[in-house]
Structures are given as structure tokens and as C-alpha cells.
Amino acid sequence: MSTWTHWHNRFAERARRPLPPLDDAAELPAAWRAPLARSLARFQIGEAGEGRIAHQVARVTLPAVDDEYRAALRLFVREEGRHARILGGMVRGLGGELLGTTWSERLFVRVRRLAGFRLKILVLLAAEVVGIGFYGSIAARLPVGKLRAALEEITGDEASHLDFHVDFLRRQIDGAGARWLARAAWLSIAGIACALVVVDHGGTYAQVGVGRRRALVDYARRILAVERALTGPAPARAAAEPVVAAPQAA
């Protein structure tokens, strides 16, 4: 059995879930609707844009990559597409409009296209940290309801994606030099991505009562936890325990 079979099975099982019901967002304070719709529309574009790597993986020959990994990665991309559909429903339910593209998405795509496969996965790993921090912080502040439940579900998926990418990258980092390189690449890419999100979505964070400083401290904590998981000694944590936890309600 491949080391990736359990990931393939997990993605396949989650693919069977029905889309969460999002027929209204009546539980939401009126002042939150416009900034939230704007932010979620920006995230929706990122979730929809990861299709190329699903084709690229067919040609990748790297240590630990086999057909089970390729199948799991394709299901991961599909799960991100599912997030895009859920976020699209949220944006429309909040009275917002979906966007064609954004500067941050164009930057993200450009960096990914310049990169080899492993660096692409590192960039996707940064996107998971960004997503967990943003969706999780917002979900923790929302009143109990369908929108909160759907964002919590997406946050849980992103935490699982993060573990999937860490599992892959750990197998690619061999030797002190590679560890140093991976650490430098991770801290700079994830640091820039998270700082940009806090700046870009600062208004939304403020509207739901999360200060920029708190958002940045939360991100820094997660970035360092992933750095330890990527380049530290083999994890002592139980396999089911995520590398980073979702934000808790204040």
C-alpha cells in the first residue's frame, strides 16, 4: 500500500459531502455584509484557480510521488473547487458580486508559474495558512448559523490540506542544506502572503472585531508551527492532530 493511500481515501470520502445549505445569511449583522462579501469574493478567485497543478502532477517524478499521491492531489484540487462554489454562494447570499481577477491572485499565480513542483506546493501551503487564519478568525466571530458552519467546514478542510502538503514536503527535504533552503523559502513566502492578506482584508478583520496586530500574531504563530513541522524532527504528535489549530472564538 502506498503512503498516500490514506490521503487519497480521506479526499475521496470528503468529496461525497453535499454542498452546505446557504440559502440566506440572515443571522449576520447588516454592517458585516458588504466587507465580508468583498473579502470572500477575493478568496473565491484563489480557491477556483488551482487547476494546472492537477495536470502537471502527471509528469512529476520526485521521491515519494506515486499514482496514489497524484490521485490525492487531483482530489485536493477538486476540493478547492468545491470551496470556490461554497464561497460563491456566500458572496451572492451577502448581496456581493463575484470578481474576474485580483492583483493578489495574479501575483500568486505568477509566483506559482515560475516555480518548480515542490516550490508550487510550498506556495499552496502558504495559501492554506492564509485560509485557515482568515476563514477561521471570521467563523469564530460570526453568530451561530449556516454561514459560520460552512466557513468552519472549509477551515477544517484547509487544516487537512496543510497536513497533506507538509507530509509531501517533509519527504522532499533531505539534508541540512535543503532544510535551510526550505526554511528560508517558507518564512519569506508565508510571511509575505500573510502580511498581504492582513493589509488587503484589514477592513473586514476590523469590522468583525479582530485587530490587525492580533491577526498578524496569529499568522506568525502558525507560520512558525509549520516551519517546525516541515524542518524539525519527526513529529511526536498523533497522526490525527493537525499541525495548526483553527482560531478559537474570542
Which residues of this protein are in contact with Fe ion, per CB under 5 A? 47, 80, 83, 128, 158, 161
Closest to Fe ion by CB, 146 or 161: 161
Closest to Fe ion by CB, 47 or 218: 47
- Tell the smallest beta-carbon distance from residue 158 to Fe ion (Å): 4
- Tell the smallest beta-carbon distance from residue 29 to Fe ion (Å): 25
H helix runs in the chain, sequence order? 5-15, 30-48, 52-56, 67-93, 103-114, 117-141, 146-172, 176-200, 202-207, 212-231
> To 5 degrees, how large is the angle CA 76–CA 94–CA 214?
70
Residue 247 carries which side chain, given as an amino acid letter?
P
Closest to Fe ion by CB, 161 or 201: 161
- Tell the smallest beta-carbon distance from residue 82 to Fe ion (Å): 8
Q: What is the distance between the alpha carbons of residues 96 and 52, in angstroms, rounded to a whole number?
A: 28
Q: What is the distance between the alpha carbons of residues 166 and 160, in angstroms, rounded to a whole number?
A: 10
Identify which of 130, 231, 123, 214 has the alpha carbon closest to the alpha carbon of residue 172: 231
- Tell the smallest beta-carbon distance from residue 84 to Fe ion (Å): 8
Closest to Fe ion by CB, 74 or 161: 161
Closest to Fe ion by CB, 105 or 158: 158
- Tell the smallest beta-carbon distance from residue 233 to Fe ion (Å): 26
Q: What is the distance between the alpha carbons of residues 201 and 207, in angstroms, rounded to a whole number?
A: 10
